Structure 1
Amino acid sequence: MAFPDVLQRGDDFLSEYPRNSKIWKAFSYGTCVFTIGMSKLILKSLYNVELNHFHELEHAIDRSHKEERGLMTIMNHMSVVDDPFIWAVFPWRTYKNLQNMRWCLGADNVCFTNKYVGTYFSLGQVLATKRFGTGPFQGSIEAMIRLVSPIESCPSSDNFSPTFKIAKPAWIHVYPEGFVLQLNPPFSNSMRYFKWGITRVLLESTKAPIVVPIFTTGFEKVAPEDTAESYSRFLPNNIGADIKVTVGKPIDDKVIEEYRQEWNTLVEKYTDPRNPTDLSDELKYGKDAQELRSKVANMLREHVANIRHEKCNFPKEDERFKSPTWWKRFTVTEGDSDPDVKFIGKNWAIRRLQKFLADRDNEDDINTKKNNDNEGK
């Protein structure tokens, strides 16, 4: 079930840029095509690219159009060039029009550092996402829910007055780990745990999206994390390396609907009658809701991990890597809890390494002081 207030906040987030404008749409399509074209030039000239089982994604795209359903692709996050290079691997026929261009999430401190960079990424259908403390209840996630929700199935309510126009439910692409992960052997090509934002899209959209898992290797060779703080970050590395993209089968709709039914049961139980158009605190932070989101996140991760093991012939992952608790302890201790696990480069999930947070914290302190001063007047 989707709440009108959630859809409205998502609609408002999408409307922050003039995305309904024909001029914006033309520039948006041009930006996407140009970026994909440049990425194709680099990949085809310098690397050996292998694409497997693309027909699974192509059929899913066709189904999403015929069934008026959103499409959600989920993928491991090995490199800062995963996006846009992943789109250069697929054939040009995939991108017939703007409707066939994916939407995705991008960290606001990386992709939206100023209005010029932010405009470029917005034209490229990237939504600004805040990390470190904001969590899954933020505008970009609710915009994703709005994008995959067919307008005709949206609840009729005075609380939801859509202004963002979209012809059909969209294609969204997510990296549920939230951060790039590159580990030294024997843990190469492993994954972090999947975060909860993606589960909100699956559970709270008005109609279940088609979900397609993807696993990639090789992009970490193009941009290894040990070059992150040097000039070579901006140059192609390891020329001639192999890049492999493997598309999995769409997740069974019956599996997804079972989870959505669990969510609907919780909605019936925990909706606040005083505010029935929005998520209650229990549906946000309650134990039952959190356990359901964890189950869904684990299920989605397992589908990507199965491609890694069964299609790409990697040995099964270390069992520790499935656990959010393990990752949080490992990150808080900056690796001291499990010294056998070594990062290539840095673990960017460590708060201390994110310089932008100091500015944000200072801004929060200033705003808090202003609010306190205003309250005292």
Structure 2
Amino acid sequence: MSFYDVLSRGDEALEQNRPRNSKIWNFFSHLTCKTVIGASKIVMGTLYDVEVKGLNNLDDAMIDARKQDRGIMTVMNHMSTCDDPFLWACFPWRNYKDLDDIRWGLAATNICFTNIITTRFFSLGKILPCDRFGRGPFQPGLDACVRLLSPDDTLDEKHIYHNDGVSLSSLIPKGIPDSRNFLSSQYSPPVLRKKTSLVHVFPEGFVCQLQSPFNNSMRFFRWGTARMILEPTVAPVIVPIFSDGFEKIKPEKLEDTMFDFFTFYNRGSKVTVNIGKPLDSQVIESFRDEWKRLCDKYHDVGDFSRMTDELKFGEEARKLRSKVSAYLREQVARLRIENGFSEEDPRFSNIQWWSKYTASKGESDKEVKFMGLNWAVRDYQKNVVLYDDRGREVK
């Protein structure tokens, strides 16, 4: 169930300083993406042994999603800084003939959006900024993902939350220009697209490289991913992916250098990408039904266009996002076992364990050691903005 205010903010985030509804922008965006994928293909094709399992699962999901007018979402473990774009180098060129078939993704603001050059490059590469360390799941980049997963022809009274006795158009806040009001005949979508969008997510939020015997384990999955399932106008088709081997190409170090950025390690090693079947639509719809019931219970009777604090921060809403995220993690963990790994340590799916472990910088469980650094520790990262428990910037 979508809220007008969320979709509107998603439009704003997509429009901000980016003429994405321009054919010229799309041309250079497609050129940027294909150039990066091409360079990555040279590296992967000449230096590593790549195996892709279940590519037909992704192909079929893309076809089915477009037939059903639904967005597509892929979720994957995050083993290395080269996961994206090297993942896409493992797939055939036919997957990138159309810009609409190239994924949208998220990247850390404090790493990839630090100046005008990197901001323009990653924006052309269909990457959206995501703030870490307290900003939480209610931020512009995630609103943009909800909007991308909402087909342009579903922005109507059937799919957007409103009072049944009142038309949705009468609830739109005053002062919104017609060009930004997607219920207006003059509305222009922020992204020029012919098909529904593909959004790729690393739900762990940080690279996770643990030393043996815990190697290739995952962190807990964060709640922002649950928003992308619960809040689009229609349920996206969700495809789980598990990869291993990218961590050998870019093993984490205590300190990165420019030399490391251009160096590819462990040449000849095996990289496996396991693509699962789309997740059960009935399970996804059951989550969305539960979200709809919460919206009916905790909506703002004075303003149906916005999501209330109870729906953002209330206990029931938090539990639902936790349940959705845990379900996604279980599906990716099944693919991990298919790749030959044993069952994970049960601690690693527990958000409380990770919170304690990160807060103590690993002292709470000394036998669990990272390759390099645990990047979830704020002190290890530069250019970090602080936020309170409601995602508001702390001055």
Using structure 2 for the length normalisation, give the TM-score.
0.89
Q: How far is the alpha carbon of 1:355 from its aligned partner?
A: 2.3
How do 1:296-375 residues align onto structure 2 when only pairs under 5 Å count? 296-309=324-337, 311-357=338-384, 360=385
Aligned length: 362
Task: Say whether the 8 Å CA contact 1:4–1:155 is kept in structure 2.
Answer: no
- 1:34-69 per-residue CA deviation (whole Å, 9 max, x = no partner) reads 110000001101111111111000100111111111
| Counterpart-to-counterpart distance in 1, 2:341 and 2:331 | 14
Say which SS state the counterpart of residue 40 (structure 1) adopts: helix
Instruction: State the match for 2:150 in structure 1.
Output: 149
- Cα RMSD of the aligned pairs, angstroms, is 1.5
Letter in 2 for 1:161: N
Matched with 2:266 is 238
Confirm or deny that 1:259 pairs with 2:287: yes
Once residues 219 and 151 of structure 1 are traced to their aligned partners in structure 2, the CA distance between those partners, rounded to angstroms, is 35
From 232, 239, 242, the equivalent of 1:205 is: 232
Instruction: Spell out, residue by residue over 1:200-219, the C-alpha distance to the aligned partner (whole angstroms, 9 max, x if none).
Output: 01000000000000000000
Note the C-alpha offset of 1:361.
5.4
Counterpart for residue 161 of structure 1: 181
CA distance in 1, matches of 2:152, 2:223: 24
CA distance in 2, matches of 1:361, 1:80: 23
* Amino acid in structure 1 at the alignment position of 2:296: E
Q: Percent identity?
A: 48
Secondary structure in structure 1 of the residue aligned to 2:219: coil
Runs (4+) of structure 1 exceeding 4 A deviation are: none
Give 1:22's aligned amino acid: K
Distance 1:186 1:368 in 2: 39
1:271 to 296, 299, 303: 299
Q: Given residue 59 of structure 1, which amino acid in structure 2 is its aligned partner? A: D
Q: Which residue is equivalent to 1:109?
A: 110
Gaps of at least 5 residues in structure 1 are: 370-377
For residues 252-308 of structure 1, the C-alpha deviation after alignment (integer angstroms, 9 at most, x for no partner) is 100000000000000000001122111101000000000000000000000000100
2:171 is aligned with 1:170 = no
Bigger share in helix: 1
SS state at 2:253 partner: helix
Number of the residue aligned with 1:284? 312
Give me the whole-angstrom Cα distance separating, in 2, the residues matched to 1:336 and 1:75.
28
CA distance in 1, matches of 2:270, 2:114: 32
Return the letter of the residue paired with 2:200: H
CA distance in 2, matches of 1:229, 1:168: 39
Compute the displacement of 1:354 (Å).
1.6
* 1:42 partner SS: helix
Shift of 1:2: 0.1
| Other-structure match for 2:161 | none
Q: For residues 93 and 285 of structure 1, what CA distance do their matches in structure 2 show? A: 43
Q: Which has the higher contact order (CA 8 A, sep 6+)?
A: 2
SS at match of 2:316: helix
One-letter identity of the residue aligned with 1:29: H
Gap regions ≥5 residues in structure 2: 158-168, 174-179, 183-187, 388-392
Aligned equivalent of 2:54: 53
Structure 1 counterpart of 2:220, one-letter code = Y
CA contact under 8 A between 1:72 and 1:212: conserved in structure 2?
yes
SS of corresponding position for 1:225: coil
2:298 partner amino acid: Y
Deviates more, 1:185-194 or 1:270-279: 270-279
Corresponding residue for 1:374?
none
